[in-house]
Structure 1
Amino acid sequence: MSNDPRRLEILLVPEHVEGHPDHDGASLIAAAIRSAVVTPTGETGASGYPRYTGEGMEADIDPATRTVEALLVDGAEIDYGLSARVVDPTR
């Protein structure tokens, strides 16, 4: 039996927002330029971590640390200056 979370939310935020010490989870959600609720596919990505997909995003996520190890948005890599953060789904 897997301990992988069944649903996660990926937030794309500008790096200047993500790195600011005064920003907590709620302000990251408010500052996100895009978000997607993703679910595990049952596959392992090239990074070796479980693959999650949903709402145009495909990501390899370390479930223990919630670190996004690989990410495609609408089939493309994200632009420089953006950061991907994982939170519990808000919807």
Structure 2
Amino acid sequence: MSHPQSYEILLVPGFAEDTTEAAEPSGAIRSAVVSATGETGASGYPRFTGVGIVAEIDPATRSVEALLVDGAELTFGLTARIEERDAGTDADR
């Protein structure tokens, strides 16, 4: 497969310029592993789901193009970060 089939979504408070620091699990208020559904979302990018999160992710840029958390848009003041996951490590933190 040419693109990752799962990612870990990290929801962090605020907007962080330093993506390394923002992606640290200790800074996340919520994290979940999302897996590819094989569908394309309204944004035109692949859809990934898992543990109450639906994300549309551009695999070329690793950008979250659309995101629902428990059926609602992301709360103001939160930012989504992603990390690629290996197939053998798909588990929630």
The total of aligned residue pairs comes to: 87
Does the C-alpha gap of structure 1 residues 41 and 12 become closer, same or farther in structure 2, counting only changes over 3 Å? same
Q: Deviations over 1:71-91 (max 9, x none)?
A: 000100111110001113374
Superposition CA RMSD, Å: 2.0
Identity rate, percent:
59
Aligned partner of 2:14 in structure 1 is 15
Native 8 Å contact 2:37 2:47 kept in 1? yes
CA distance in 1, matches of 2:28, 2:36: 22
Aligned partner of 1:47 in structure 2 is 43
Aligned partner of 2:76 in structure 1 is 80
Native 8 Å contact 2:4 2:84 kept in 1? no
Native 8 Å contact 2:12 2:22 kept in 1? no
Q: Secondary structure of 2:24's match?
A: helix
1:3 corresponds to 2:2: yes
Q: CA deviation at 1:15?
A: 1.7
Q: CA deviation at 1:26?
A: 7.7
What TM-score results when the alignment is normalised by the length of structure 2? 0.82
Following TM superposition, where does structure 1 have runs of at least 4 consecutive aligned residues deviating by more than 6 angstroms? none
What TM-score results when the alignment is normalised by the length of structure 1? 0.84
